[in-house]
Structure 1
Amino acid sequence: MQDFSDKAIILRVGRFREADLWLRMFTPQHGLLTAFAFGGSRSRKRFLGCLDPFNLVHFGFSRSRSGTYLSLTEGTLLDGHRGLRNAPARLGPAANCMKFFEAVHVEPETSAAGFSLLRDTLDAIEHCETLSPIFPILFRLRVAFEQGYGPCLGTCSQCGKDLKTSVAPSLLVEAGCMICEDCSPGSGRRIAMSRGAVAVLEQVRTEAPLTWGSLSPQGADRRSLYDAADSFVRWHLGLKWEDGRFLRI
């Protein structure tokens, strides 16, 4: 790989020597990268205001002579998400979304779409007038959908019935599909979903994160969405939330 430049959303930053930093970031052209910012903690010219989590930055990258690591040559801050940093209650949901996104393996051919989703998600958390209390759960569902695990929400996968007329549709986790109340689920995990919960899934699947802010399902709807997200993430993406981080199962 030759020297290159790319936009990046910074996921994590760490120090490994007195003045040097390492950065974990996601880029639209090269996917998930780790690079070193030598002298980054003291730089007032090459990385001014750039080296913080949540930042959207245009970086220059250089590969070492041995080809074993990347270093950052310079950076231009594109968006520091100042509004997000000034709203402590929103930092937690944003960090949770970023941790989940980092843990999910995004194929190189879908890097551009993944980058757009992550950027739009941070923008939504920053700018939504009200933020859904289950926003990170909605984000996990959308990522699962983007990875190809989203069920068809319009019709029963067995009989073709319009699920808008179904009284008690269900999500079959392992099969990744929906059935109506008249069809047999067979073996595997089945999660009962109301029409309201299915409507939330459809909005998350088809609309931009900026529209999710007002989604605040209650009671059984909220529990079924939590259950659906947790089950899909465990079964299809192989991840679980434990001790403040996502771990491979």
Structure 2
Amino acid sequence: MPLYRDDAIVLRTHKLGEADRIVTLLTRHHGKVRAVAKGVRRTSSRLGARVEPFMLADIQFYEGRNLDIISQVETKEPYARRIAEDYALYTAATAMVETADKLVDHEKEPAYPQYRLLHGALGSLSRREHEAGMVLDSFLLRSLAIAGYAPSFDDCASCGRPGPHRAFAVAEGGATCEECRPSGAAAPSEEAFVLLSSLLSGDWAVADASEQRARRESAGLIAAYAQFHLERKVRSLGLVDRA
């Protein structure tokens, strides 16, 4: 069986038989990989804690016919241990890995930009660099942009008319001018638009200085935008602990 090795972030796991697990991972070079971790549910297993969601590890795989097999794991960043200590961090991280799993549809196709973004976001959460909800919101916007769904928060997403504009239409792709504004479009505050732009660009000086009202507005718009363009519900978003 061909052997390969890669850095990987664990997205999710589920049981297989009495002692094994199927582990879904996002790797640096091989995209999304599903592999069997044999015996990890036994109390004597040395691999179990190393293949929990959010962990970053250097993993050796044997390539199988249907599923690959994990043969060796070396922890690189124990994000899971740090994140699991705090409910807000845990729920934000759970929504991140679920989104990454949905965005990277095909297995073994290169997805390095998504891997790098998730790596950075989980690291930021584990170090508590910013409010957990804002790290999640920034991740959602930037991961969607990588996938080709970048929203506009200034120029009109429909006709391109220079902004700023006051309406936000999820289905149109973001901000809309008065002529293009569809019925039912949201009308976020100016502060929310500024925050949305800063979260997309990674301007944390502006984002960290924002007020809670703008954060709540932005979070609702981002969740709606993400789930519309993913064309499926991100179940863990409903569990995210917001300040």
TM range (shorter): 0.7 to 0.9
1:191 CA drift (Å): 2.0
Q: Is 1:194 equivalent to 2:189 in the alignment? A: yes
Q: Is 1:59 equivalent to 2:75 in the alignment? A: no
Give the Cα–Cα distance (whole angstroms) in 1 for the partners of residues 113 and 183 of structure 2. Answer: 31
Letter in 2 for 1:139: F
Q: Is 1:185 equivalent to 2:183 in the alignment? A: no
1:186 CA drift (Å): 4.8
**What does residue 100 of structure 2 align with?**
101
Change (3 A) 1:245 1:63: farther
Which residue among 71, 74, 77 is the counterpart of 1:73? 71
Deviations 1:78-137 (A, max 9, x none): 111243233344222212222222233356766100001111111111112452445434
Give the Cα–Cα distance (whole angstroms) in 1 for the partners of residues 110 and 183 of structure 2. Answer: 30
Deviations 1:47-66 (A, max 9, x none): 385222211011111123xx
Letter in 2 for 1:94: A
Letter in 2 for 1:218: Q
Letter in 1 for 2:66: T
Change (3 A) 1:238 1:22: same
Change (3 A) 1:85 1:213: farther
Q: Which runs of structure 2 are paired with 1:5-20 in the superposition (5 Å)?
A: 5-20=5-20
Give the Cα–Cα distance (whole angstroms) in 1 for the partners of residues 88 and 128 of structure 2. Answer: 13
Q: Is 1:204 equivalent to 2:203 in the alignment? A: no
**What does residue 172 of structure 1 align with?**
169
1:218 CA drift (Å): 3.0
Greater Rg by CA: 1
Q: Alignment partner of 2:39: what SS?
A: coil
- Asked whether the 8 Å contact 1:26–1:32 carries over to 2, the reply is yes
Question: Root-mean-square deviation (CA), in Å?
Answer: 3.2
Q: Alignment partner of 1:148: what SS?
A: coil
Q: Which runs of structure 2 are paired with 1:108-147 in the superposition (5 Å)?
A: 111-147=111-147
1:29 CA drift (Å): 1.8
**What does residue 149 of structure 1 align with?**
149
Letter in 2 for 1:176: G
TM-score, normalising length: structure 2: 0.79
Letter in 2 for 1:229: I
1:190 CA drift (Å): 1.9
Letter in 2 for 1:121: A
Give the Cα–Cα distance (whole angstroms) in 2 for the partners of residues 207 and 97 of structure 1. Answer: 16
Q: Is 1:214 equivalent to 2:208 in the alignment? A: yes
Q: Which runs of 5+ in 2 are unaligned?
A: none
Q: Which runs of 5+ in 1 are unaligned?
A: none
Moved more, 21-30 or 187-196: 187-196
Q: Alignment partner of 2:219: what SS?
A: helix
Give the Cα–Cα distance (whole angstroms) in 2 for the partners of residues 14 and 213 of structure 1. Answer: 36
Give the Cα–Cα distance (whole angstroms) in 1 for the partners of residues 131 and 89 of structure 2. Answer: 8
- Asked whether the 8 Å contact 2:55–2:78 carries over to 1, the reply is yes
Which residue among 235, 240, 246 is the counterpart of 2:233? 240
- Asked whether the 8 Å contact 2:29–2:110 carries over to 1, the reply is no
TM-score, normalising length: structure 1: 0.77
Q: Percent identity?
A: 21
